[in-house]
Structure 1
């Protein structure tokens, strides 16, 4: 992969100066790499890496790592004027052992008898013709990375081990065996220390990955000796894919072998981060720079897990919202644990377009601190979005729309210049809004009856709206709604608006009501009020 494979960047002296001053976290992380080589020449390539464990389907945490790392890559490219070669490797740990059957896969019986084998030796339970469970999951990973347009290089642990690409570093590990043990053993309990080895042989009889102590490690011949499952003593070469490394030393081994300069990981790895670094250095490498991010939580506040399939999947998010809104969620507050569930989607969509609306025409430093600069690799598009996603959801509710054309009739009355043809993003939003409303808003709507005072106020509002011009401005409509609330004794106007939302929309919160009426139209709003009063 060469720099030309990454999206082109706008580079100028002003942009470079702003990049060195920007407080945006991708620039802060990228400056670590600039500082790393401030007294030395840059290597032929600066290599970024993300890791993926295909023991389950790719989940949103995997997308998170690739998205955030890509943002840092582009920040680094601007800081170095794109004169330093960069690579982004997405590494799949597909030689790891299959430890348990995931909850969210079909045909569990297909893989139950293969537990303990490398993931690339476990059959594909999806029946889609892939060579293994790992091959299926790797394909899914690459598919969604390609869908988002990431520039990356895919790497398979199985291929690297079996092809001999790790052979040299494994021989070094044999030579440094005791040094590695001295780093790892203090992190283990007494019982585990008795059986631990950084090398995991693959049984030539059963194909299982064996967690057994070493009887002998021969650095000169590059072999290990151990007892197989049946008790027979076996000697295997550590090269050629006969042996893999335990997960803790595997991190450091890989960084040393590939010359990794940067890898981020979740907070669950933070406690072992120094262990990975020490092993990398023992094996002759230079420990990479890191960024530790907080983990995502599901709707119950529990950590998202590939095997459980809890939380929100990439496919689910993309069913209800633009890909860019997911990228925004990844950009925001990476060091804060965030609840990742369906109810966060509307806010992310609207925030994305809000950021996009102000990124152009601002000072350079502000542009580089705008999330959309990072989401779009320095080239945020110009898109007009006259209606928010939240407003579209309320419009679906009020119009009972199940098809795009129904919503477009209201949108066209509100903004005659907007059409599905000249604003395809808005058309996409309309489709997302209909799906999201049907699945997540409608099932939870709870309409209530108006109180006596609220009924009188609603009747007055309907009468006032009925005599207002069809194309009244949203501010004029909002003023009228305010006036009705004040005239009917709502000391706190918030109570009046809550009543409107609960009685007319079946929810506790809602849009700016004047804007809502402007889009729906006074006549249709009056009809909606009268229907609510008949309940």
Structure 2
């Protein structure tokens, strides 16, 4: 299929990244911007380390960027912008040498010593962590530092525009503030030449022609300073607007908690003479209890935790789905996301071009999903680990190599990774919650018959044959709802309320092994041992 044909299909694609990309294309009217490219931006506050929200924002923005590139030849760039000139407001709980940081509260992050001792400043340390973080996932981006933009003069013209439109900015901001804050609020935050602290002080005089302001310190002294050259920075919302104006940002998404900030910054951007970027407001993640995830509370799931139990691609699959819908981000979502991701990859090649553009696999891999897809699901590996009480991947491989002839950890790398994830997940989350029960009533006779059927099957019977036997036994023993029969097997044999397709599990675990497992359950033995 030609590039022209694919572009036509992309123009009609319904996946949300294409919908967002069409907003950008409509903004441009099909013409290349004066700056020569379309600018996508993501923001990062380097007072803390990169986290799962950082990953999600860069990933989703990249998906929109790639969708745009399917529809247009206009060059694109993605800036990962660090607000590293922001003053250090409090000492983070998760860093060393906190006493050292406490001595530098209020200073720009790039003027605060690095508590880790690896960089010239705390801001530079976290910036390096951000770049290493993004590089590890293969993101294509350009890192930009607020400190460098302010001090190099790149923001000078935009800062002078803020000064010339000072009253307009104030008229936008003041109604959003409390009464006390209104009395002293100014969009400009001077950097004290004596202490290096970012000051929140009243501005008493404006000199737009000279490019200066006069502010009043706490001791009553009035000081004149230029607003350019890094001698002042802006308050958060005016700063965001000024950045859009200075850089010509065309697209930036943000969380629902910044909805009001987007509106105010958009008004300020217009007051400066620019059009604010196209925006997608994404919903925030929820924890196990349905509460909003908070970095300070530590609820929810971290990047490191997800990647301990599953692949980055499974997390990308989670991020792709319904960004405007609030979703629980907790350990129990991992197995489903892993299996959904591989299901999308597995079905990709057989789909029509239009369907491929709707697939998460296209957006996760920019149209080139991998070919190495595990022949077993994460869920069934979890159940195998469960019945084996596995502590080591080699235990599972003993069964896998029989089920998938010729399979080894060396020639099935994707499967080997999945096995390792499954063992870790089982040990940490499944094993502590397992609760077996004894069979009761007609369950006893049903299990006896199932055991007998398995014993009489040929060694090479496949999963479909085993599934048929399970189904027929359930019908023969008149379970009102076959789900009750399946649930009974899960609770009695696996110690859990849900489980795999039993035929597939039996084929993987083995007919004789399953028969022995049923026998032990009928005798009342401890299956958790």
What's the TM-score bracket when you normalise by the shorter of the two chains? over 0.9
Write the mapping of 1:11-22 to structure 2, written as runs, cut at 5 A.
12-22=3-13
Q: Displacement of 1:218 after TM fit? A: 1.4
Mapped pair 1:57 → 2:59: no
1:66 is matched with 58
Relative to structure 1, the CA distance from residue 482 to residue 41 in structure 2 (aligned partners, 3 Å threshold; closer, same or farther) is closer
2:89 is matched with 99
Structure 2 length as normaliser, TM-score?
A: 0.95
Mapped pair 1:118 → 2:111: no
Q: Is the 8 A contact 2:345 2:373 kept in 1?
A: no
Q: Is the 8 A contact 2:203 2:215 kept in 1?
A: yes
Mapped pair 1:398 → 2:390: no
From 173, 180, 185, give the equivalent of 2:174.
Answer: 185
Relative to structure 1, the CA distance from residue 150 to residue 39 in structure 2 (aligned partners, 3 Å threshold; closer, same or farther) is closer
Write the mapping of 1:85-484 to structure 2, written as runs, cut at 5 A.
85-125=75-115, 127-484=116-473
1:6 is matched with none
Structure 1 length as normaliser, TM-score?
A: 0.94
Give CA-to-partner distance per residue, 1:87-138, whole Å, 9 cap, x none.
000001111122223344444333233322222233333x252223322222
Mapped pair 1:487 → 2:476: yes
Runs of at least 5 residues in structure 1 that lack an aligned partner in the other structure: 1-9
Q: Displacement of 1:205 after TM fit? A: 2.6
Relative to structure 1, the CA distance from residue 14 to residue 40 in structure 2 (aligned partners, 3 Å threshold; closer, same or farther) is closer
Match of 2:280, SS state, is strand
1:32 is matched with 23
- For 1:152 and 1:138, locate their aligned partners in 2 and report how far apart those are by CA, in whole Å: 14
Q: Is the 8 A contact 2:447 2:518 kept in 1?
A: yes
Q: Displacement of 1:479 after TM fit? A: 1.4
Give the alignment's Cα RMSD to 1 decimal: 1.8
Match of 2:203, SS state, is coil
Q: Displacement of 1:40 after TM fit? A: 4.4
Q: Displacement of 1:255 after TM fit? A: 0.5
Structure with the bigger RCO (C-alpha within 8 Å, sep 6+) is 1
- For 2:117 and 2:421, locate their aligned partners in 1 and report how far apart those are by CA, in whole Å: 29
- For 1:178 and 1:380, locate their aligned partners in 2 and report how far apart those are by CA, in whole Å: 53
Q: Displacement of 1:39 after TM fit? A: 6.3
From 24, 27, 38, give the equivalent of 1:46.
Answer: 38
Q: Is the 8 A contact 1:14 1:364 kept in 2?
A: no
Match of 1:470, SS state, is coil
Match of 1:517, SS state, is helix
- For 1:104 and 1:444, locate their aligned partners in 2 and report how far apart those are by CA, in whole Å: 30
Match of 1:215, SS state, is strand
Match of 1:180, SS state, is helix
- For 1:97 and 1:478, locate their aligned partners in 2 and report how far apart those are by CA, in whole Å: 63
Q: Displacement of 1:231 after TM fit? A: 3.2
Greater mean alpha carbon deviation, residues 411-420 or residues 55-64: 411-420
Greater mean alpha carbon deviation, residues 300-309 or residues 63-72: 300-309
Relative to structure 1, the CA distance from residue 41 to residue 66 in structure 2 (aligned partners, 3 Å threshold; closer, same or farther) is closer
Alignment: residue pair count: 523
Relative to structure 1, the CA distance from residue 105 to residue 462 in structure 2 (aligned partners, 3 Å threshold; closer, same or farther) is farther
Give CA-to-partner distance per residue, 1:347-387, whole Å, 9 cap, x none.
00000011111111321111111111011012122233211
Q: Displacement of 1:422 after TM fit? A: 2.6
Match of 2:279, SS state, is strand
Q: Is the 8 A contact 1:471 1:521 kept in 2?
A: no
Give CA-to-partner distance per residue, 1:278-308, whole Å, 9 cap, x none.
2222223222111111111222323223344
Q: Displacement of 1:204 after TM fit? A: 2.2
Give CA-to-partner distance per residue, 1:314-347, whole Å, 9 cap, x none.
1211111111111111110000011111111110
- For 1:304 and 1:239, locate their aligned partners in 2 and report how far apart those are by CA, in whole Å: 38
Mapped pair 1:76 → 2:68: yes
Greater mean alpha carbon deviation, residues 104-113 or residues 149-158: 104-113
- For 2:434 and 2:123, locate their aligned partners in 1 and report how far apart those are by CA, in whole Å: 42
Q: Is the 8 A contact 2:288 2:300 kept in 1?
A: yes
- For 1:264 and 1:474, locate their aligned partners in 2 and report how far apart those are by CA, in whole Å: 46
